[in-house]
Amino acid sequence: MPTFKRNQVEGAIARAIDPTAEKPSADLLNRLKRLLDTDRSLGRSAKSTDPEKATYAFFSQDAAGSGIEVRFQEYETFALLSGWRFLDHGFPQQKAVLTLRRMRPRLEQEHARIMQLDPKDLFDQERIRAAAQPGQLYLNNAAPAFLVICSSEKDIAKTVDRSIQSVAICRNEAELMQLIRSHFGLNTILELVGTAHLLRECLLRTQPTLRGRPSK
């Protein structure tokens, strides 16, 4: 399983958010750092049965000693981009991290499923147009999946510090519409399939930075 250096992760996320970005902005780097630092500072207890305590949102293992470089799996890069999306929709940092910890078993499994889908079929524009129906969401792929964050009715007027009542994964638009109809409150919808495949493309175009001074 390939892993990526932090500069690759940051660069890929920047390009996934803004394809014209030549490098990550200071604001993006700061947000990503805060998410990573929050995840580490919460610690973990591997023997716990509570996913919020047993697993990290963005790391595979506990912090190594100084001088040991942390590398990230593709899923962890996807989770970090998801964390940025949480913040961008006004959810508090710690709630975002705890939610992604709790969701990791399901979201990691869903990410693995998504990455097995053939991009040629997924992004076939003729197939997408042929399957389109009046009133459907406009999407850039033929097999969308969604992460839905359900908040309180009181959060509808908020732009920051939104609550997180529950989180669900919907594997098609029918499931999504059923969930929306059953929840009277604010629903934040993050499409997963297009984002995951775009992020992979961005990751594969990155180059790791070399540590230390180049040899003469």
What is the spatial distance between Cα 26 and Cα 60, in angstroms, rounded to a whole number? 26
State the helix-helix crossing angle for 6-17 and 26-42, rounded to 10 degrees. Answer: 120
> What are residue 149's DSSP bridge partners?
167, 188
Tell me: the pLDDT tens digits for 108-167?
999 999 999 999 999 999 988 887 777 778 889 999 999 999 999 999 899 999 999 999
CB 143 within 8 A of CB 117: yes
Please, how many CA atoms are within 13 Å of residue 143, restricted to the half-sphere of its CB? 14
Length of the chain: 216
CB 147 within 8 A of CB 107: yes
Per-residue confidence (pLDDT) for residue 211, from 0 to 100: 62
Per-residue confidence (pLDDT) for residue 200, from 0 to 100: 98
Three-state DSSP state, 20:
coil
Alpha helix ranges (H) inside 43-118: 51-54, 74-88, 93-115
Q: Which of the residues in the chain have pLDDT under 70?
A: 65-67, 211-216
Per-residue confidence (pLDDT) for residue 216, from 0 to 100: 42
Give the residue carrying structure tokens 């630092």.
Answer: 37
Per-residue confidence (pLDDT) for residue 134, from 0 to 100: 74
**Position 169, amino acid:** I
As a whole number of angstroms, the longest Cα–Cα distance in the chain is 65
Q: Taking the CB of residue 139, how many other CB atoms lie within 10 A of it?
A: 15
Per-residue confidence (pLDDT) for residue 65, from 0 to 100: 67
